[in-house]
């Protein structure tokens, strides 16, 4: 298992293991594709490795099972909701199962990717066990947005930000995976060091549906084209590729608005539409960008809550238009 640009997080966990000061829960925050899930699996190997040094040996039975995703004490929870969200019953089951002792290791790790796609009611199911877990239980969670995690949960976990690797590391990773060199360079130009996004681009021969949707919305905002903005957003009705694809576009748009603010402050850009973010930054005020960011976040919450997608998109279009 190869990690790129995650040395800080890995060193922190290694230090905690050596000092026997591991907390009971982590949430790894970052954009889609930056390697949060890979980092979580690596950290699981750090914790469960039979050597106990904080550095996975890669040879013991525990390390080999984690590499193959078959370790009985590294339990990945798969969301069952149609929006890619966790259902209350799925998280309630963890509360019951947590009392059961580990199968092979001293610790039992529950891995919950994209916990921020769960409604507050579902997250509340975890609160008690996250607050006072059995001594053998740990939680590894990933999320794109802190705003969608209950404050009561955030206050009881260690939050670690995960940033994308360098473009050089990304190209190295793509080469090691055997991706087309030309497509790899194109992907890095668009997505920077976001390895997950670059792999998706290379695997789809440069065609990524959600990327075109994001570009259309951003271009409409740059042009202050309210009709084009409404048309681009309302076309995302979720009827063809599902609500998950709509959430993917909204997540990317939220990242663009963050980049608009970042560009104004002179900090690095990380969204899938960096050029568009720079142009948009010259068209709107910081306050307007923040309001649009909040409007997109609100739309995501409504879609996760099973609101009608066309109505949410129409409302979002109107909210954005008044900020341009």
Q: What's the average model confidence in pLDDT over 289-305?
A: 92
Q: What's the average model confidence in pLDDT over 281-306?
A: 92
Q: Say yes or no: 17 and 150 in one domain.
A: yes
Grouping H, G, I as helix, E, B as strand and the rest as coil, residue 303 is: helix
Does residue 115 lie in a domain region?
yes
Q: Say yes or no: 183 and 297 in one domain.
A: no
Q: What is the pLDDT of residue 238?
A: 66
Q: Please, which pLDDT band fits residue 240 given cuts at 50, 70 and 90?
A: low
Decide if pLDDT at 190 tops 90. no
Q: Say yes or no: 66 and 140 in one domain.
A: yes
Does residue 1 lie in a domain region?
no
Q: Say yes or no: 19 and 75 in one domain.
A: yes
Q: Please, which pLDDT band fits residue 141 given cuts at 50, 70 and 90?
A: very high
Single pTM value for the model: 0.79
Give the integer Cα–Cα distance in Å for 54 and 23.
14
Decide if pLDDT at 136 tops 80. yes
Domain holding 256: CATH number?
A: 1.20.272.10
Q: What's the average model confidence in pLDDT over 222-239?
A: 89
The last residue of one of the domains, among 144, 175, 207, is: 207
Query: Minimal CA–CA distance to 57: which of 46, 67, 72, 68?
Result: 46
Decide if pLDDT at 48 tops 80. yes
Tell me what the pLDDT averaged over the chain comes to.
90
Does residue 136 lie in a domain region?
yes
Decide if pLDDT at 61 tops 90. yes
* Pair 211, 173: CB distance under 8 Å: no
Q: What is the pLDDT of residue 112?
A: 95
Q: Say yes or no: 191 and 231 in one domain.
A: no
Q: Say yes or no: 139 and 32 in one domain.
A: yes
Q: Say yes or no: 155 and 235 in one domain.
A: no
Domain holding 125: CATH number?
A: 3.40.50.300
Q: What's the average model confidence in pLDDT over 124-143?
A: 92
Tell me which residue range forms the domain holding 296: 208-321
Does residue 277 lie in a domain region?
yes
Q: Say yes or no: 284 and 228 in one domain.
A: yes
Number of domains in the chain: 3
The C-alpha angle 306, 300, 261, rounded to 5 degrees, equals: 175
Q: Say yes or no: 253 and 178 in one domain.
A: no
Does residue 116 lie in a domain region?
yes
How many percent of the chain have pLDDT more than 90?
Answer: 57
Give the integer Cα–Cα distance in Å for 63 and 56.
7
Q: Say yes or no: 152 and 60 in one domain.
A: yes
* Pair 105, 73: CB distance under 8 Å: yes
Decide if pLDDT at 316 tops 80. yes
Q: Say yes or no: 216 and 181 in one domain.
A: no
Does residue 301 lie in a domain region?
yes
Decide if pLDDT at 128 tops 70. yes
Q: Say yes or no: 182 and 59 in one domain.
A: no
Does residue 258 lie in a domain region?
yes
Q: Please, which pLDDT band fits residue 241 given cuts at 50, 70 and 90?
A: low
* Pair 193, 60: CB distance under 8 Å: no
For residue 248, the Cα-to-chain-centroid distance in whole angstroms is 10
Does residue 2 lie in a domain region?
no
């Amino acid at each position: 298992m190869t990690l790129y640009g995650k040395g800080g997080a890995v060193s922190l966990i290694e230090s905690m293991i050596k000092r026997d000061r591991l907390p009971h829960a982590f949430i790894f925050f970052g954009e889609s594709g930056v390697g949060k899930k890979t980092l979580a699996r690596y950290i699981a190997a750090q914790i469960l490795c039979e050597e106990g040094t904080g550095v996975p040996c890669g040879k013991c039975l525990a390390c080999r099972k984690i590499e193959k995703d078959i370790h009985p004490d590294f339990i990945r929870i798969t969301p069952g909701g149609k929006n890619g969200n966790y259902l209350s019953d799925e998280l309630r089951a963890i509360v019951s199962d947590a009392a059961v002792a580990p199968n092979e290791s001293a610790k039992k790790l529950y891995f919950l990717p994209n916990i921020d796609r769960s409604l507050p009611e579902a997250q509340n199911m975890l609160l008690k066990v996250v607050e006072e877990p059995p001594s053998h239980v740990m939680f590894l969670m990933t999320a794109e947005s802190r705003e969608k995690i209950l404050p009561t949960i955030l206050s009881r976990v260690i939050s670690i930000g995960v940033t994308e690797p360098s473009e050089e590391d990304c190209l190295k990773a793509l080469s090691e995976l055997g991706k087309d060199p030309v497509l790899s360079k194109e992907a890095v130009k668009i997505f920077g060091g976001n390895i997950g996004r670059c792999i998706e681009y290379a695997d789809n021969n440069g065609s990524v549906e959600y990327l075109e949707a994001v570009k259309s919305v951003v271009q409409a905002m740059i042009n202050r084209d309210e009709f084009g903005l409404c048309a681009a957003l309302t076309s995302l009705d979720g009827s063809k590729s599902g609500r998950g694809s709509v959430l993917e576009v909204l997540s990317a748009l939220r990242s663009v608005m963050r980049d608009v603010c970042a560009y104004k402050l002179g900090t690095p850009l990380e969204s899938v539409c960096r050029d568009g973010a720079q142009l948009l930054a010259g068209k709107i005020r910081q306050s307007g960008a923040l309001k649009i960011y909040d409007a997109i976040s609100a739309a995501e919450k409504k879609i996760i809550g099973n609101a009608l997608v066309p109505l949410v998109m129409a409302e979002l279009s109107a909210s954005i238009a008044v900020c341009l």
